[in-house]
Amino acid sequence: MKLVRYGDAGAEKPALLDGEGRLRDLSALVADISGGTLDDASLDRLRRLDPETLPLVEGNPRIGPCVGNIGKFLCIGLNYSDHAAETGAAIPEHPILFLKANSAIVGPYDDVVIPRGSTQTDWEIELGVVIGKTAKYVDRANALDHVAGYCIVNDVSERHFQMQLTGQWTKGKSCDTFGPTGPWLVTRDEIADPQNLGMALEVNGKRMQTGNTATMIFTVAEIIEHLSQLFTLHPGDVISTGTPPGVGMGMKPRPVYLRDGDVMDLRIDGLGHQRQRVRSDD
């Protein structure tokens, strides 16, 4: 099942995709696609619906972030062995964790805005994991039972803010629009193996990132196990699980960064497509 939120920013409505890829409105049944509707029982009720009985959404509305009212936006750094190699970083012993401000979250086709003073805005395609069941002290054997589904995240990053401004990575990760999420939440029953998903990102039609979740250093289950030992994961929390090689800062002979007018296209097997146009915050 593919769950979607559509409409103006801040006023999105819940929907699902029917067999022909059309939006079917769920407003009469659920208030939103958010933590309160992501448990197994709620998803099973939606799964049993006949999409043909639901109102068809006409036109081409804006697609919003696939999860509303996200609790924690958790990000894992340097989680692909080939990406760690391109940046010259050592393989981490434990998952590297940073937070992305929720105010960065936008829809999958919304503009990404280069903040004032930025010279090093970069791209990062990532597998997003949406928690559906409270997780505390879980082990990897049953960790995936706590997942509602998966989505695409573009962990847009300003490298100077991230690396050179005194403080933590969060500074370069949390600028407004730096968290495109969606287009839809694909429930976990449709993803047979989250550790075997092809990933690709293009800038202006040129392939920059090609990867597969098989090269993650820490699997989705291991990440959930680790984080749940530290704090409770709640329904509606989102974990962005790291990026494969091909980011701008790793380009040779010199880094390549986003500029006004650039267009990013992102795809992950089974999870759909994102596209963002880049513009400067003038």
For range 182-205, the mean pLDDT: 98
Res. 89: pLDDT tops 90: no
Q: How many other C-beta atoms are found inside a 10 Å radius of the C-beta of residue 274?
A: 25
Residue 90, pLDDT above cutoff 90: no
pLDDT bin (cut points 50, 70, 90) of residue 30 is very high
Give the model's confidence band at 3: pLDDT under 50 very low, under 70 low, under 90 confident, else very high: very high
pLDDT of residue 142: 97
Q: Which CATH number fits domain 73-280: 3.40.50.720, 3.40.1190.20, 3.60.70.12, 3.90.850.10?
A: 3.90.850.10
Mean pLDDT value across the chain: 95
pLDDT at residue 161 in the model: 87
Average pLDDT score over residue span 58-78 = 96
The per-residue pLDDT for 169 is 84
End-to-end CA distance of the chain: 40
Span 128-146, average pLDDT: 98
Measuring CA to CA, how many Å separate 224 from each of 53, 63, 153, 211, 242? 37, 28, 17, 21, 14
- Mean pLDDT, to the nearest integer, of 53-60? 97
Q: CA quadruple 22, 126, 47, 28: dihedral positive or negative?
A: negative
The band of 54, judged by pLDDT with boundaries at 50, 70 and 90, is very high
pLDDT range class, residue 97, cuts 50, 70, 90: very high
CA distance 251 to 257: 9
Q: Is residue 204 pLDDT above 80, yes or no?
A: yes
- Per-residue pLDDT of 230-261, as tens digits, reads 999 999 999 999 999 999 999 989 999 999 99
Non-local CB neighbours of 34 within 8 Å, separated by 6+ positions:
67, 68, 69, 70, 236
Query: Does the pLDDT at position 216 exceed 90?
Result: yes
Domain with CATH 3.90.850.10 in the chain: 73-280
The pLDDT value given to residue 167: 74
